Chain A
Amino acid sequence: MHTLSFSLTLEGVVRIHDGVLCLAKFSEVVSLEARKDKLILTALNSSKSAYASFSLDKTVFFEKYNFNASQAKSQQSTEDTGARFTCQLYNKALLSVFKGRLGDVRDKDTAVERCECNIQDQPDKTECRLIVKMLCRHGVTKTYKLTYESVEVMHALFNKSAAKNTWTIGASTLRSFAEYFGTKTEQLDISSEGGRATFTSYTEKIMNGRDVLKQPLQTSITVDSLDFEDFKVEDQLHIGISVKDFKAIVTHAETLKASITALYSFPTRPMQLSYHEHGMQCEFTLMTIGDYRGNSVTPAPAAVRQGSAAPAERATSRQSTVQTAVQPKTTTMPPPSQSLSRSFTREPQSQRTQRPSPPPPKASLDPQSLFLPADEDDDRIWGERIYDNEQDTLGWDASANNDPILGGRRSDQESSSRLPPYPAWQEDPNSRIAPTQKIAEIRGLFGD
């Protein structure tokens, strides 16, 4: 008897993949929490300033879902939250299991049709594993066994009642905004004034001389509040989050074609971004930066800058009420204390966690194709060729079905159909020199 077993359709597998990919932007581990009615995947970043959670609904998201509460020997089975099973896995491990399924969708022969997962959690058995079975066409089954670490899972709390600022907008719109942001910018400031909302991506660095030119692009996007589905935000309130988190969220939300709702109170307090689609409740709690001026007419940035005493006190008291009132069984995410003293305008860079940005996408141009369609105006054609990163060089075509001149490394029909015909070669396939050497030897001769 399994502690937890569930099965997914192909669609669910793709959704899990997209979700795990998004969680990878926050942390290298994924926390998994199973409950009677849902499965929750979460990630908390190392500086505890960003938290992501995907809550997958038992009936909508899964084909079958069975959580055996009595099997869950977990210590947390208490009266109010119900039985839980929690564990932690490496994101990479999960991603490598759920990755590649996307590619298979195109290749109908080995496409995944269903996925069955179960968790064996018995202390008396040697195998405590998450077992994922990918059931493919033609009766092929791929089984993966992942080890997990049994840990207590932390969840961020968010006090919705205090968050009086809210807006909702289509993810694709926000995604298009993110396209405009400079590649190395770090902060995103969101503000509104006179019925227009502004998203500004910037990097706070003081530079002189020639370094000025290394300062990344500062981008402001001003959009009418009517482009939002809902927009209730205090005028002239500035609130800052990380561009990287923002990009990760909107990229994922766009895969679900969802509308994102933001909820926040004031800077230095968490902001929640959420969307719900296809039985997937996605919530992100992000710490914010900025000067809070409140509702009072006189701005009081000095109070925030000088010492964190007043706001900290306010924050802690609020935090404690939340803790006791809402969910006594979950651990709260403490806000990073230094963020309270952060000022919007002069933020010491050393306090920011430096997280590496994802590598730039590689050019997908077929390097073997000699002639290209003339109408394409594209960096893939006119940009610089990066010779160092190219995987393939001279190869030997042993398959004997492809165009003999240009080699058979091309697998897709598309690119070969682009090539102009070589009638002389194609008419007489025997004129080709037969491969008399092993492929391995050829590679050795020409490098790899």
Chain B
Amino acid sequence: MRFKASIRNIHTFTRLTASLSLLGKDVWLQLNNEQLRFTVVPEQGSQVWAVLAIDTIFETYTIQSAVENNTINLRIPLASLHRALRSALTASSASIRLTKKDNIPLLSLTIITNNLNSSRPPTSITTTTLNSDNAPFPVDDAYNNNESLGDPNPGFFPHDRETTITQDIPVMVLAAATVASIHEPQCPQPDVHIMLPSLLQLKAISERFTKLALSTSTSATNRGRASDALSSQSRLTLSANAHGVLRIGVETPSLKIESRWEGLTNPELDPEQVEGGEEGVRGHASTRMKEREGDEAWSVVRVEGRDWGRVLGVGRLGGRVIACFCHEHALILYVYLSGDDTESVLTYYIASYSA
């Protein structure tokens, strides 16, 4: 079993792990010849099923295993992975590989940085003058810059002064049988597809509502109740229709607030993606929804405010988000990465509470 890759886009990877780590402690990462799947299924709260093209994060990607399609399944603690990746944010290069130490499988992240703040002039340096013909590295721009900064050591290569950071993340290798029992949730046909407004706005407003709900209801119920009581008190109602309107509201015994966005896009279904083609689109729940009026035109879900806030943390990836409302059942978010024309998409499943 072998996995090795250099990290091409450390920022995307770090933002991904940051978003995922809000929802669960561990991620199931499935690597194979074609794609990367990051899955977080917490005991409580929303799930993420992300499929990323290899190019989105990695380059020079090597994978080998006895399983079909060279598949490797790993269970990785997200906090450690995220912390390790954060230390690579200023790196000149970073690579990751699967290894073993004392019989514990590890994901070992090797980070090389050149930007150590060595502002003082080097004092006791033994100069190694290299013959330019035998020089192991071409004299590149970085070297010239180094010289212009007053480095008193001609023939001294910046490569010699790089700092290497290795972060060893303990992981578990999962057997194919173990992961076979994990299934992506099945949902009925969504009633409304709608493009969400800026998640930054949505998150700020949702959090304000959640806070209001929590603070008003805690004082009402003499505060300090069990957490399940809290979750019922901080529910937000999200609703959308097929005419570009999204509403988010909160209702407690003492207050009722609602925010409303208009003029949002309702993406059309692509007949090629829908089962049954044109016929399938015509019979789709969302097509029927367009003809309804009044209260019937709204598809409603109820979410737990804090969980919803954590889901919206995905906004840091900065992509387009399409929300699919399954009335009184679930909300599904498809998050497409910005500036990424691959097939990469993160799918969030948020179950709806009953009224």
Contacts and interface: CB of A to CB of B under 8 A. Distances in A.
Interface of A: 170, 172-173, 176, 179-180, 182-183, 210, 212-224, 226-227, 229-231, 367, 369-372, 374, 377, 379, 381-385, 387, 390, 393-394, 444-447
Given A446-B215, A446-B219, A212 B18 contact: no
A387 B211 contact: yes
A215 B200 contact: no
B33 interface: no
Given A216-B80, A220-B165, A172 B170 contact: no
B131 interface: no
A183 B83 contact: yes
B216 A374 contact: no
Given A170-B117, A212-B170, A217-B83, A370 B205 contact: yes
Nearest to B81: A217
B190 interface: no
A179 B104 CA distance: 25
A369 B164 CA distance: 41
Contact of B118 (A220, A227, A369): A227
28 contacts: A170-B119, A176-B117, A212-B104, A215-B170, A217-B167, A217-B169, A218-B167, A222-B164, A222-B165, A226-B160, A227-B118, A227-B161, A230-B123, A230-B124, A370-B205, A377-B316, A379-B18, A381-B200, A381-B316, A382-B19, A382-B315, A384-B310, A387-B210, A387-B306, A394-B212, A394-B215, A447-B215, A447-B218
Given A227-B163, A447-B219, A447-B223, A217 B310 contact: no
Contacts of A381: 200, 203, 316
Nearest to B76: A213
Nearest to B316: A382
B137 to A, nearest CB: 15
- Leading 5 A-B pairs by shortest Cβ distance: A447-B219, A382-B316, A218-B168, A393-B215, A222-B164
A182 B79 CA distance: 10
Contact of A382 (B104, B119, B161, B313): B313
Contacts of B22: 383-384
Interface string B236-264: 00000000000000000000000000000
Q: Interface of chain A, helix or strand or loop or mixed?
A: mixed
Contacts of A180: 87, 165, 167
A224 B309 contact: no
Contacts of A172: 117
B164 A372 contact: no
A200 to B, nearest CB: 9
Interface in B195-252: 198, 200-201, 203-205, 207-208, 210-212, 214-216, 218-219, 223
Contacts of A176: 116-117
A383 B77 contact: no
B160 to A, nearest CB: 6
Given A372-B200, A384-B313, A387-B214, A445 B84 contact: no
B77 A173 contact: no
Contacts of A212: 104, 170-172
Contact of A224 (B161, B216, B313): B161
A372 B306 CA distance: 19
Contact of A217 (B19, B84, B120, B201): B84
B204 A372 contact: yes
B164 A213 contact: no
A217 B168 contact: yes
B212 A382 contact: no
B15 interface: yes
Contacts of A215: 104, 170
Contact of B207 (A217, A374, A385): A385
B208 A214 contact: no
Which of A218, A393, A444 counts the most B-chain CB atoms under 10 A from its CB? A218
Interface in B107-126: 116-120, 122-125
Contacts of A182: 80, 83, 167
Nearest to B212: A394
Interface string B329-342: 00000000000000
Contacts of A394: 212, 215
Nearest to A210: B172
B59 interface: no
A223 B116 contact: yes
A446 B75 contact: no
A221 B164 contact: yes
Interface in B45-90: 75-77, 80, 83-84, 87
B67 to A, nearest CB: 21
B265 interface: no
A446 B117 CA distance: 50
A374 B200 contact: yes
Nearest to B115: A176
Contact of A173 (B76, B118, B124, B212): B118
Interface string B291-327: 0000000000000001001101111100000000000
A224 B208 CA distance: 50
B343 interface: no
B35 interface: no
A369 B203 CA distance: 12
A399 B339 CA distance: 47
B162 interface: yes
Contacts of B80: 182, 216-217
